[in-house]
Structure 1
């Protein structure tokens, strides 16, 4: 009886520097041929196109890591280690994930990946990535010194491709785009006359003037940040002066996202390009003068760069008309930001709500409505069914691994018997080492795959939830533990949608509760910094680790209209 084939997954990626979409298909074809030659069955392919290997924030890579945890395949095949990542820390993280899940990684270039490959190749890839960045930066600086574009296209200009005598394309040349240049002059003139960025944006949106982003004008698009040189009013290219390398970008190791940092002025590259001037020096100075006058009294921070203190539900409110955010418009009121910053052409919802009214209505809903007994019963039935389905799948996966372990032991014993019978040991040595490694790997994996049990929710779940929410609300009134209570309550809210009421001048509120957060609190998992009551029954239904997984498996958030 033939043994079932190992299931293989293929990952392919090409970075933006290669600029060849067919590269992914080439990699998948080569990896497929390799898998078939190794007797593997390809069951899944993952790819990322035109994405740098310096970050793990790629849809294909994230799907690969997620499916690796669920046991969707037995081995990963890729063209080379640098296709998975060029970042040394990221490639080590990927390898650790696959080791934890008992999954080997094989590449066409390096073969079966081990710790040695991770150390040596990871270092080489990281150095190569740094070398590419240095050469790119050097090349861009050369273009900047020549007055050419060194990245990005400013509003008011368009690229002007030119050819050399040999027919090669000269890149980086720009010219003024007349229609956009007129808009830039209008913005500068209106601002110098006293109009606010918000009013200017509102007028442009009303006239359907295309914005730099292709969507709508906003006040921040116009005023930007003076120190960083962002925004229409701060772009020195409009007076014929190109400033390059004002900002540098670094990757946050926790989020994988790039953030900007201001470089010292000594590192800026400033080049005069008078042929690209759109704004007269006199108008530019008038704008700068008004910007200086609008700085906050007693501080160097402009009005638009001030940050108000965070309120209990700030960042969670959304307009029911346009989908934009609700923000503070006065000391104690919230309103739709797009309606006020971009004008009625974007949103006409000008109704407001008092902060005290909003918080009282939301807290009442959290305490008394989002986890009523009927809703809890539905949640528990759906959650229990999904959780038990996943437990059953895990049981099947464990059974397969137990069978594979038994086969590995049997095959190893057969080779031992063959040596005893007189077959030379050197003929079966490699196979014995392979089977022994397979045995150890499966045994380690089974240690981390406990036998499944059935999930049953505690019948007092709704009462426990209400008691804990009431306790958190009471904590808001005391100095000790107030911040922790705020964070715990915010974690229960997915979104608060504010829509104009059909009758009257008020707003209807639709509260969407985060199902994972609600179930965690109901199950007693309030967070590491929250003290539990002595009579807490959380041990009877301790499912905090699995809740997020199941709540994300197609469940809608709990919703209540206030």
Structure 2
């Protein structure tokens, strides 16, 4: 008596045409006609035939190795696989175990001619699968050009309009997204953001609490939140590992449409977040270093424009750690090779900390920085004051339209169509909430635009104290808050202060490293108003580091 098993599968696209039940019924009838004993069934539901990573298929192959059956019955060969190479692997694996494959529909014998036709059929199955995928992609690209939803869950803060299939803002979730962007720009960690969201009573879509493992990074880099419709941005998951390692497709394959969907955050906020994310990238040397390198990602080579990375290697007979910063292009080949000198970590870090304290955080220079800060804030205030009347006017118009529609609803008699009026009312209510939020942000900006001298003094004092803490990682974050970039040349070091984007101050120093002494002369350039006396900004720094 020959023992047989049957294998069934459907993909989501083929569910109605070939259901599991229909396949199993045909397979059972075939077994009866052949006189086989059906000992077990295997079925993979809603699984593609383009890869072998299917639980029931893998179980079938495992049982075949244990000699539990002699024949595998399938409705059609493409149920086992639509990939020629995978199908050949399955045939080879089962053949080693003495197991034959028989198809209910495609009756191929074991003759050379039968094997040849079987290979033709496998090729046709693969062509059909790939051609279907290509046609589906055509349809989704057409939808993308119209900024329509192409399946899957919409991003947090959005929902899909069932009539237009376009994205619209979900006002219950949108505040979560705005908080994530705002707090990230305020240098909050993911854990702190999660804790704040939980304290505010917000939940994830699954009803769970937020955690540091929540997908904050994916939210922060998604251009949809600034109103840019994107499609086909990332590669599909590997069918075997189920991962794509955040791999992006080529730019010419990605659909990008600015203004193709409503924005939850402004483009300015989104771009600032991207800059901050870039500054957080850690170099290979930094990742392996036990002691954090304070200036990682800030040092830029004057000669080639490359980033300096941390370098830690043993030196001398005692293998003492020799810690430096060196240009990432020093080991490049050809024209890209850079000959910029490496810098000892301790020397450059001590120098930069000295510059921060003696120039940026010097109490004697507060008046100048007050002037810079208030000028920048005044410029922003002027723009907000221009925006306020426009938003107020639009909010009044929307409110009036809502009131008019409510009045229309009260006058409609029974049997009259309400759908169009109700739909318009929903849209206006959504617009009103968005405008109210926009106005609230503008009012906050205008209200908080004056900085007094006392608060600046306190802030500078706090920052000076934090620079002397033993927590090196915390000191590094403070430095990144105060400095935008440090340009390193053979004889010069140029520090660009930006105080978290509030203003830009450029300091250029001419440096020579002699033994363990550092001499630096300050070039003031356009720093009009800076107190340059010996106490506030030393014109000559000299000392053992």
Could you tell me the TM-score, scaled by structure 2's length?
A: 0.48
The structure that has the greater radius of gyration is 2
Could you tell me the TM-score, scaled by structure 1's length?
A: 0.47
